[in-house]
């Protein structure tokens, strides 16, 4: 036996290396599989977490107050057409679908309203004919029943949205809302084997490559609908091998976890189909409205095919910017649908013969009234989180009246431009708020002279001295002390010197004159500063500050005498709150920009009813308002009646700060209150007083919107009494005597020499009523005189106000 021969168990080096490499390979493979499993599990988690939960961040949609149509409503045919254009209604000779209309004659329109979910429930579409006569609605006929429609509520104008960080928008649809032609068009051009593959289709890739080679250009895509959804929903637009691998894996995982119909619905709502300014248009639901101004469910074949054409390239085939490309691609979609047997050759030919019929582009997502929407958001943020406002798809119904807002914007543009032609009135800015006199709903708002510019909102944040706008609060304070003051109480308009926070203050009148002893109503009518300061100091600074608080002003004020002439600054919003209380007969109600909020599913979340609270004496408020009417009749606001009928019985007050830095006006009719500020952002003089500046803008607006007269209703504790020129008790036979309202028991008792003995106790039934049975005023009983001849009665306080 040869002991030097190698052992039979001894292995060669190559064999050892092979075993070592094999062990290393399988170990690495095992580890790789573990990492791959973890990676796939992570991708699977991403898919299930996102796709199962809230798949999309839906912006809140903000709506203006809906237009209500009824016989007698002041609205012209042209104004109605403007409303239809704002609502993106389209001209259609057949008026077959919602959101369409046609003109029947010079004064008639046939239209079909859209179905819409309001906070008080769903409103179905109506087919109507409306007739106009002399800029007024004369007839509304429901064409389904043939009967007159008493009132029609239009769908509201969307005025903006609150977007999430990714600025995209969509209208979610369900599979049953998708037209059959839409699904068939997608299957014919994007994924013929959608219901047969598991996320990726090698056969589809091969078929697309062959079709594209034969055509010489791109006619089919190789990605399945599932892959396109994954690319849009989960991945970026990066072109890399890693992204393609992820796309394939996630497509398979999506198919494993979810039914085909769920994937298809996701695709219909996610696919990118265009751009509306800075906002991306996603999903066929929104695209149908964006391009054709009609619901997806009502879309005809030729327009459905046009939307399918966009899938291949929304920018390249843009139906507005590149209509020829879009038309060619649409016709190719129709050809493919015919080849696949989804439509007949006749259907394809008829659809190809039709134009695209894309509506003109009007930005839907743009926030049209940024200053008003700023207020809406501030009021919402008191109760909602930022994420709720930008991702939950809330519908927010506001108080904005788009017609009033449009009138305001026109008035501001024209009047500011005219005022800036004055040599000393350059670089003007403005802020305007308009509310409904009853209820405090804000119907229009501008935070600057350029309505579309966001930024500093002067209506809410410009803190400026209000000048004489404070005077009604001063006189209201005095009148509530009815044992001392009435509207005919003599007050001194003479020079006065006061300690104003450690400095000597010598106020002056605007005309730099003193007017001696004047009745209190005259001091307010002509805005006498000296008389106002004397009345306010006597009534009490603390009491005036309390009155401001009771009028709704929450900002603390400095208790210096200069407060009485408006030295303490307020914002236009705060001034509006103050005058809203006066205009609403002494009832405080918070100014509101929101009516209701509903969830994306239509469930009502919150309503904002107006709540009235009596904080100010009604009788004293009534008297102040009659004085404010006289301001308009013959005081600092009298220029209004050069342009507006005296029958409206307007009430208002001018305000001017030192050196003409701020020009103010606040006033109201029976239907609207509006407050105007004009000034400069650098606080330099404007060269405008309240009368020459803000009042002129106020007039330009109110002559367009004010319809109802300001008929003051006297409370039960108001009595009327005849007063002569010396402030003594008179009767209707005394020359120069006029009737004035007084808080019961406060009227002068000393008789004028022109009368002798007159009973002054009124019978309880002697009241003047309006058409609704409400007390207009309660005149003092005046028996006939037997001992003296009748003289021609002089005009009363109210005759002055209401004569035209």
Name the residues annotated as catalytic.
Answer: 190, 468
The alpha helices in 53-201, defined as continuous H runs, are 77-86, 180-189
Distance CA 325, CA 318 (A): 8
Bridge partners, residue 503, by sequence:
500
**Residue 730: CB partners within 8 Å, gap ≥ 6?**
722, 723, 724, 737, 751, 752, 754, 755
Closest CA to 54 of 162, 160, 170, 159: 170
3-state helix, strand, coil in the chain (%, to 5): 40, 20, 45
Distance CA 601, CA 785 (A): 74
Distance CA 509, CA 499 (A): 18
Phi-psi map region of 312: left, alpha, beta (phi>0 left; psi -120 to 50 alpha): alpha
The alpha helices in 430-515, defined as continuous H runs, are 458-461, 471-479
Question: Using N-to-C axis directions, what is the helix angle for 541-550 and 529-539, rounded to 10°?
Answer: 90
Q: What is the 3-state secondary structure (H, E, C) of 227-245?
A: HHHHHHHCCCCCCCHHHHH
Sign of the C-alpha dihedral, residues 697, 703, 707, 712? positive
Q: In 471-483, which positions are buried (b, 16+ CB within 10 angstroms) versus exposed (e)?
A: bbbbbbbbbbebe
Pull the structure tokens for residue 440: 């405090």
**Residue 292: CB partners within 8 Å, gap ≥ 6?**
90, 299, 303, 357, 358, 359
Burial of residue 202, with CB atoms counted within 10 A of its CB: 0-12 exposed, 13-18 middle, 19 or more buried: exposed
Closest CA to 575 of 500, 441, 466: 466
Angle, CA 394 vertex, CA 390 and CA 395 arms, to 5°: 125
């Amino acid at each position: 036996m040869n002991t030097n021969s190698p052992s039979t168990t001894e292995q060669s080096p190559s064999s050892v290396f092979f075993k070592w490499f094999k062990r290393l390979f399988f170990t690495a493979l095992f580890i790789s599989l573990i990492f791959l499993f973890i990676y796939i599990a992570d991708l699977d988690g991403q898919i299930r977490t996102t796709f199962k939960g809230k798949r999309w961040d839906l912006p809140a949609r903000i709506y203006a107050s809906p237009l209500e149509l009824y016989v007698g409503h002041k609205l012209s045919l042209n104004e109605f057409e403007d409303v239809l254009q704002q609502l993106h209604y389209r001209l259609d000779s057949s008026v077959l679908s919602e959101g369409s209309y046609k003109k029947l004659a010079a004064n008639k329109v046939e239209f079909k309203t859209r179905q819409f979910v309001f906070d008080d429930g769903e409103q179905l579409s109506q087919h109507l004919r409306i007739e106009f006569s002399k800029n007024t609605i004369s007839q509304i006929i429901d064409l389904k029943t043939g009967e007159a429609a008493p009132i029609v509520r239009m769908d509201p104008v969307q005025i903006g949205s609150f977007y999430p960080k990714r600025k995209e928008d969509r209208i979610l649809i369900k599979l049953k809302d998708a037209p059959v032609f839409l699904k068939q068009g997608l299957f014919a051009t994007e994924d013929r084997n959608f219901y047969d593959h598991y996320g990726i289709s090698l056969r589809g890739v091969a078929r697309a490559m062959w079709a594209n080679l034969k055509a010489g250009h791109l006619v089919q895509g190789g990605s399945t609908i599932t892959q396109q959804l994954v690319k849009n929903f989960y991945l970026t637009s990066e072109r890399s091998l890693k992204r393609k691998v992820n796309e394939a894996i996630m497509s398979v995982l999506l198919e494993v976890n979810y039914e085909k119909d769920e994937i298809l619905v996701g695709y219909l709502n996610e696919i990118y189909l265009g751009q509306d300014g800075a906002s991306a248009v996603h999903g066929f639901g929104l695209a149908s409205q964006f391009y054709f101004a009609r619901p997806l469910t009502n879309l005809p074949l030729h327009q459905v095919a046009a939307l399918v054409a966009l899938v291949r390239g929304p920018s390249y085939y843009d139906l507005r910017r590149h209509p020829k490309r879009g038309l060619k691609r649409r016709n190719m979609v129709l050809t493919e649908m015919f080849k696949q047997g989804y439509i007949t050759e006749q259907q394809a030919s008829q659809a190809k013969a039709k134009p695209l019929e894309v509506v003109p582009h009007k930005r839907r997502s743009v926030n049209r009234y940024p200053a008003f929407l700023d207020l809406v958001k501030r009021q919402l943020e008191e109760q909602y989180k930022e994420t709720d406002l930008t991702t939950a798809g809330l519908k927010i119904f506001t108080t904005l009246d788009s017609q009033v807002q449009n009138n305001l914007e026109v008035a501001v543009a024209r009047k500011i431009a005219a005022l800036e032609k004055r040599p000393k009135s350059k670089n003007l800015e403005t802020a305007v708020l308009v509310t409904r006199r009853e209820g405090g709903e804000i119907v229009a708002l501008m935070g600057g002279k350029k309505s579309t510019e966001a930024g500093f909102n002067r209506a809410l944040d410009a803190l400026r001295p209000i000048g004489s706008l404070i005077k009604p609060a001063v006189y209201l304070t005095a009148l509530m002390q009815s044992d001392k003051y009435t509207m005919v109480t003599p007050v001194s308009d003479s020079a006065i010197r006061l300690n104003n926070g450690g400095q000597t203050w010598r106020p002056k009148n605007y005309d730099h004159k003193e007017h001696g002893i004047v009745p209190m109503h005259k001091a307010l009518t002509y805005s006498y500063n000296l008389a106002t300061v004397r009345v306010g100091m006597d009534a009490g600074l603390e009491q005036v500050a309390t009155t401001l608080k009771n009028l709704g002003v929450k900002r603390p004020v400095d208790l210096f005498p200069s407060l009485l002439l408006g030295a303490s600054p307020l914002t236009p919003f705060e001034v509006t709150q103050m005058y809203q209380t006066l205009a609403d007969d002494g009832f405080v109600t918070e100014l509101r920009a929101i009516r209701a909020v509903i969830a994306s599913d239509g469930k009502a979340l919150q309503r904002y009813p107006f709540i009235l609270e009596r904080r100010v004496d009604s009788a004293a408020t009534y008297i102040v308002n009659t004085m404010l009417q006289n301001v308009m009749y013959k005081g600092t606001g009298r220029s209004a009646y050069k342009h507006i009928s005296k029958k409206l019985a307007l009430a208002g007050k001018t305000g001017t700060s030192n050196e003409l830095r701020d020009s103010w006006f606040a006033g109201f009719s029976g239907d609207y209150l509006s407050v105007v500020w004009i000034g400069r952002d650098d606080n330099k003089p404007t060269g405008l007083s309240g009368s020459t500046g803000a009042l002129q803008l106020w007039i330009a607006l109110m002559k367009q919107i004010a319809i109802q007269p300001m008929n003051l209703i006297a409370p039960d504790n108001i009595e009327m009494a005849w007063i002569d020129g010396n402030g003594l008790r008179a009767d209707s036979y005394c020359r120069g005597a006029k009737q004035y309202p007084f808080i019961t028991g406060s009227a002068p008792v000393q008789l004028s020499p022109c009368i002798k003995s007159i009973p002054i106790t009124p019978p309880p039934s002697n009241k003047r009523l309006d058409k609704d049975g409400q007390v207009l005023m309660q005149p003092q009983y005046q028996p006939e005189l037997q001992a003296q001849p009748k003289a021609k009665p002089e005009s009363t306080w109210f005759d002055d106000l209401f004569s035209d």
